[in-house]
Structure 1
Amino acid sequence: MSAASHGTTPYYFVPGLSSYPVLSATGLFFVILGAGQWINGASWGMYSVLCGLVFWLAVLFAWFREAVGESESGQYSRKIDISFRWSMSWFIFSEVMFFGAFFSALWWARAHSVPQLGNIENALLWPDFSAVWPSNQVGATASPAGIVEPFQTVGALWLPTINTALLLTSGVTLTIAHHALQAGNRGKTIMFMWMTVLLGIVFLFVQGFEYAHAYADLNLKLSSGVYGSTFYMLTGFHGFHVFVGMLMLLFITFRLHAGHFTTERHFGFEGAAWYWHFVDVVWLGLYILVYWM
């Protein structure tokens, strides 16, 4: 169940030699190799991607199961707990920089690139160019050079607003689950964790429906100029992070069913919760900057 007493816990746990890093890198190698070949028309690329993903996920499952076993057997001391917290903090910081790059690209295109292309110096180069950001004026999204098909932008109502409500609600249910775990109420914790996981799954389905609508009805594609590329890069990568966060919460829920974590020792839960709240905050910025402005 819970970890052993601190009296039997080593001062600092040093794991033995492991083949998991090399094996996981091997799986990812075949994923990248297959994806590159698949995009370029090689039929075997699809099988390389699938086999690489299956192999990679199997390695991660064995690796994480071993780490969970080390934790539950009392190998992780307070020093390890601190190192985990710092590691997760730096990981989330790297994710902040990741999304910051895409938000900066969106802001730069909107506030600098588009206005500069429409100034007097570029009038001879693109005399028919309309220096208006697409989300501000419907109909100004066609390319003067004819290289981008006309498209419509995605408004904030209603699917993005529904997804905002779903993510904000999931943040509340996750916080309730955390407080319940700290209070020793495992049943309540598990119930609200399942609610959080379900809300994350619904979010992904709603976003999938939004993509289908944007592609089929609005003709909005990744190739639809800077608006299309930034829209799909921001929302797509955020959706991927929601998927990863949902899996993290799902596995934490399974561990709660197995009796893992105590009121004092539950950083696995807290780390997943940090990540999920980060995803919520990113969506709020995305919801405002992409859908409203």
Structure 2
Amino acid sequence: MHVESTVHASKAPYYYVPGLSGHPVRASISLCLTLLGAATWINNWSGGFWLFLVGILSFLVVLYFWFSDSIRESEGGLNSARVDVSYRWSMSWFIFSEVMFFAAFFGALWYTREITTPLLSDLDHRVLLWPDFSGAWPNQGPAGTVAPFQTVGPFWLPTINTALLLSSGVTLTIAHHALRASKRGSAIFWLFLTVALGFIFVACQAYEYHHAYTELNLKFTSGAYGALFYMLTGFHGFHVIIGATMLSVMLLRLMRGHFTAEHHFGFEGAAWYWHFVDVVWLGLYLYVYWF
């Protein structure tokens, strides 16, 4: 049976600085193998996929041992309030970088819809470039260059997914309040429900992709609409997987007796990330599926 951590920040050193570690070098090598494998894979080199797979698995192993060390430092009472502030600023800037990442793709979608498509359909461009080009969105591209496809509407699967994510945000907030009230059993239950809702969302999106690809003929090559649809929803789905995995780790830590009502930034940081994922999905739901 695990004993709940009772270490307080006041017992920690002024500012704990870890010793020399090989984790950053190993992570860099793993990421290099991953990118090299991906580049050779899409260029039809037979060993590219396996190199990509080795890189991904190596990176996951590095993260496992790196995060294990960080957890031991935290549970060992080495992280003072000053380290806690550093973690909070680091997570805040990380989420800000993710905001800018999605802003770039939302900007690409807006620019394509509101500027590029109408511009290419005006009289001058239709005479000089593509006489049969339509300025409607989504468009099929110049005549004969994009296979016919259908768009994905908001009903019913995207709306169900929206309900799933919004519900997960509520259950996560309840879990957080339960942890702050030292109700560990309740926190575990609501966090488990949050993780389950997250992975159900991923399963529903996988089904949506299968339906779009096989029945709507919507592919990554389906003009600007197809490319932007899969880039936005696909990257968001990837972030949902990351967030659900982070929350799964927090769930295991809760079950092992980690965190206290006063000191639980690991939980809070994962919760911040999950709420960010929720907000991004609301933007996707409105701008991709409705407008």
TM-score range for the pair, normalised by the shorter chain length: over 0.9
CA separation of 1:13/1:217 partners in 2, compared to 1, >3 Å: closer, same or farther?
A: same
CA distance in structure 2 between the partners assigned to 1:7 and 1:144 by the alignment? 67
With 38-47 and 209-218 compared, the bigger mean Cα shift is at 38-47
Structure 1 unaligned regions, length at least 5: 135-140
Match of 1:85 among 84, 88, 99: 88
Q: 1:282 is matched with which residue?
A: 280
1:40 deviation in Å?
1.6
TM-score of the pair, normalised by structure 1: 0.96
Q: 2:234 is matched with which residue?
A: 236
Contact 1:154–1:291 (CA under 8 A) maintained in structure 2: yes
TM-score of the pair, normalised by structure 2: 0.96
Identity of matched residues, %: 59
Q: 1:292 is matched with which residue?
A: 290
Q: 1:207 is matched with which residue?
A: 205
> What amino acid is aligned across from residue 137 of structure 2 in structure 1?
W
CA distance in structure 2 between the partners assigned to 1:145 and 1:28 by the alignment? 41
Q: 2:144 is matched with which residue?
A: 146
| CA deviations over 1:167-196 (Å, ceiling 9, x no partner) | 000000000000000011000000011100
For 1:1-293, what aligned pairs fall within 5 Å after superposition? 1-2=4-5, 4-124=7-127, 125-134=129-138, 141-293=139-291
| Equivalent position SS for 1:17 | coil
| CA deviations over 1:130-162 (Å, ceiling 9, x no partner) | 10012xxxxxx3333422111110000011001
1:3 deviation in Å?
5.1
| CA deviations over 1:254-287 (Å, ceiling 9, x no partner) | 0000100000000000000000000000000000
| CA deviations over 1:213-253 (Å, ceiling 9, x no partner) | 11111111111111111100000000000000000000000
CA distance in structure 1 between the partners assigned to 2:33 and 2:84 by the alignment? 34
Q: 1:137 is matched with which residue?
A: none
Structure 2 unaligned regions, length at least 5: none
Contact 2:221–2:227 (CA under 8 A) maintained in structure 1: yes
CA distance in structure 2 between the partners assigned to 1:205 and 1:252 by the alignment? 21
CA distance in structure 2 between the partners assigned to 1:131 and 1:143 by the alignment? 9
Tell me the matched-pair count: 287
| Equivalent position SS for 2:134 | coil
